Structure 1
């Protein structure tokens, strides 16, 4: 369809008004499509060209002067005109060799009229054809858009859409998914498909997964290139759809048809993802049981996760992601739970098998390694950078995000314990520079200490007198102690963080020393106080969750 709408130089020389025309140079450029026809006699008016014009001239502006004619021809080539038609006569009786040589060098068609011809007749004839072709292209595009809508209503798959696209553009098209699957229409030989898939995989993997929408080009050889466009949903690239162009450039009809196809493909993939999410109710049951601290056996877990037979349980990780929405977020923005489908696609691309549950402002993840990863931690960090970026794009760039990541799990029956590790890592997120439970150091021990009576007694023994003083006098000695210890006993830094004068800090420290003893900052006592302060924070957060 697209080929019928392209008016090339090779086609116009077959028209009646060009019957006495002869191509003297630039034969290899005859396939160039013409966008418009323009009469231009001098090089200094080349600024009015937009590219794609066929130029008509009598030679009036340059005649037989070598410098002028070469400057004129060079300007047309620079301005991306598609060809030059010269009427031989009084101003230029024949085409000099230097013009022919320059035109051949740039594959720029140079045509001559051996008999006088009315330029107005040529422009009228070709403009009518071009306008008719543009109108026909718009009608074809509108019809194509309607047919895409009908296909969407019929719940067509990606291959059906791709085949429909191929019929519309009459050239090789493809669909590439980052998971490695590639479809071609028409079907290509297996070795060609493998070669193309590998090439696209290498090229697309280097691109940002949240790349800007719009058409891009990839040159394969001098005569062959790909024109492709990402299929994006909520800023996330799900696939690529493209055209293989051989000895031709992409015209507007091709690019608009590609854009319409990509939009339809995005709707199809998004609908498919959300339908799949609805079918994952067992995941909700699994996480609800784990969150409620209901223990599940290995077999129960395997059944809920759809794992059958005696296959080995892969390594897994439990992650909790908590967020606070942006204050500037519009009310009708995307609900957080609708992001689960996008996260599933994104995490799968990072070689995890994800199970996800969204409750309120929290996402719970159970990530299974599809195959043993050389560096699980690095893979997790990379994956969740993308997750956080996606949340920022959809819920607002100033959204606050906190995370807790458990140690690697080997037995599914211990998933609840690993979820508790993620919970503890999340609870200490403000105190730790890392979201990993494994990095909590000494504070990991709190996870194994019973809340009652051990922790509460421990807190009371070390902080009780200070807590009682704060309650009785409305002071903030506990907070002062916390900041002072966090500042590694630097009085200047502690005073700055507390926004008080240093003399005020001295008075408070003297009071703390009076209550706790003058050796409260000694190594052994300091460690106990640090643990007691963190344990108190953790217990208060635990109580707020229950």
Structure 2
């Protein structure tokens, strides 16, 4: 086994100290572990079996500031059955790459043993930094190929297909391809740096729900997209698990001022058709952004009339969004309260109770607003034609606002 291998570093230190050793990545996910010497506790055993620890344990460890450490220190988690630990941060060129862990036993670790742990962490840092450089180069190469794969230029797309085949990234039997688009929304001024990092971490974490070596990703600031490549179409349960994990992970890493929405394209069977799934996923993301009833996740093929609206040429959509009745309403609705009320009323199929709950208003207030909307628009909400006109108009206005801003989900 090479001395430049993480496992050999862990095993060598464990044999010298006669204590079990483990190395985690910066998110407290296990990368390597030695055999046990009778010093293990329930947390170590579980982490080896599951290759990770619970979010509660990870958060407790990180809350002690270990991400800023430059020297080994003691960590006491205060959980039942969890022994104190020595944590040696793994760094190289100023980057935090992980943590080396030793369980404190009897007798406690002395200074020479701690120095050996620090030396092993330094060696591990060099190994992990080399891996990081190789990974980043490979990632950049694959991102470039994916961008070219969905290019509008035929020659560029053909070259991308040839490059993907030459890379031999996937099984020759993998014939089901599907794009999942991810978008960070909620910040008028664009995502903050922590939110950009949170999005990449969330996507990476979400991909742990799918088999390894069955995907490629592209990420840029507030946007990302994933190409799933499998022998069979990803199941609904798989896509639900991926979507849920990305959204929940992003929420746990941010302050709630932004959220993540997801659009899922259809399955295609050839690389030259990936662009179709890609475009569908982007349109689905727009729907997930604008339609609350999607729950933040929209699938192409399940969007109903929104698929027709989103296929309209931009200039036609912008022109159609100017409906006289809604223009009159907007003129008198300085804060946009009435338009918001009308959209919610339609989103909840005219259900007064659910609409009022969504808007956090009393039903009497909602009825008052609806009457005012009828007066200002000259439309009756009891008329099917008037409701259809207003409902389409509200959605067209929302979609038009997406094109006016710079919040589209395209990743190129």
TM-score band by shorter chain is 0.5 to 0.7
Q: Tell me the CA shift for residue 376 of structure 1.
A: 1.3
Conserved 8 A contact 1:157-1:268? yes
For 1:232 and 1:444, locate their aligned partners in 2 and report how far apart those are by CA, in whole Å: 50
What is the number of residues matched between the two proteins? Answer: 360
Q: Structure 1: any 5+ residue segments left out of the alignment?
A: 1-154, 189-196
1:419 aligns to 2:284 (yes or no): no
Q: Tell me the CA shift for residue 501 of structure 1.
A: 9.0
Q: Structure 2: any 5+ residue segments left out of the alignment?
A: 38-43, 62-74
1:436 maps to which residue? 297
Q: 1:269 aligns with which of 122, 128, 137?
A: 128
For 2:362 and 2:145, locate their aligned partners in 1 and report how far apart those are by CA, in whole Å: 44
Which fold has the larger relative contact order, with Cα–Cα distance below 8 Å and residues 6 or more apart in sequence? 2
2:255 maps to which residue? 397
TM-score by length of 2: 0.62
For 2:216 and 2:54, locate their aligned partners in 1 and report how far apart those are by CA, in whole Å: 26
Return closer, same or farther for 1:489/1:282 CA change in 2, 3 Å cut-off. Answer: same
1:409 maps to which residue? 267
Conserved 8 A contact 1:172-1:244? yes
Q: 1:351 aligns with which of 195, 208, 211?
A: 211
Return closer, same or farther for 1:253/1:447 CA change in 2, 3 Å cut-off. Answer: farther
Secondary structure of 1:280's match?
A: helix
Secondary structure of 1:312's match?
A: coil
Larger radius of gyration: 1
Return closer, same or farther for 1:231/1:204 CA change in 2, 3 Å cut-off. Answer: farther
TM-score by length of 1: 0.50
Conserved 8 A contact 1:449-1:455? no
- 1:217-296 to structure 2, matched below 5 A, reads 249=106, 251-253=108-110, 256=114, 260=118, 264=122, 265=124, 268-269=127-128, 272-289=131-148, 293-294=152-153
Conserved 8 A contact 2:29-2:51? no
- 1:442-453 to structure 2, matched below 5 A, reads 442-446=304-308, 449-451=311-313
For 2:163 and 2:394, locate their aligned partners in 1 and report how far apart those are by CA, in whole Å: 42
Return closer, same or farther for 1:339/1:485 CA change in 2, 3 Å cut-off. Answer: closer
Conserved 8 A contact 2:202-2:245? no
1:363 aligns to 2:224 (yes or no): yes
Q: Tell me the CA shift for residue 320 of structure 1.
A: 2.0
For 2:132 and 2:248, locate their aligned partners in 1 and report how far apart those are by CA, in whole Å: 19
Q: Tell me the CA shift for residue 541 of structure 1.
A: 1.0
Q: Tell me the CA shift for residue 169 of structure 1.
A: 1.7
Conserved 8 A contact 1:425-1:435? no
1:322 aligns to 2:184 (yes or no): yes
